Copies of this chain bind each other. A is one copy, B any other.
């Protein structure tokens, strides 16, 4: 699983006939700068910092566009708003119930093996999975 650069994602989209608008470029750059999870509100703030004006409709639509193409994926923590992250570089999260700190869980072969186990036991063809852990971080516990 290679880690993509914002530039390569954008280039590929352009090749496919899609346009490199400032909103698209900004969002891809933000989401591929690191592996953090962003709400739509956060994405809009970050776009503003880049001096990119974009309506929330545009942000929702662009995120949808990027999800349909498997570039971005969404994660839900159960607080009512979805969070988005780059879809390559697959990993999972621990969320602190007190301070909302989100950290990645280091890659774990055992974690990934589970998909096969579950497939064998249920007969489902597993396309994706979501593992989230909730607890107290080192400072809060």
Whether the Cβ atoms of A129 and B133 lie closer than 8 Å is: yes
Instruction: Give the one of A132, A135, A138 with max B CB within 10 A.
Output: A135
Q: Give the number of chain A interface residues (Cβ < 8 Å).
A: 37
The answer, yes or no, to whether A17 is at the interface (CB within 8 Å) is no
Whether the Cβ atoms of B141 and A125 lie closer than 8 Å is: yes
Whether the Cβ atoms of B133 and A105 lie closer than 8 Å is: no
Contact of A133 among B74, B124, B134 (CB under 8 A): B124
The answer, yes or no, to whether A72 is at the interface (CB within 8 Å) is no
Cβ of A117: which chain B residues have Cβ within 8 Å of it? 108, 110
Q: Which residue of B lies closest to A115 (CB)?
A: B133
Cβ of A105: which chain B residues have Cβ within 8 Å of it? 118, 121-122
Contact of A78 among B82, B106, B133, B141 (CB under 8 A): B82
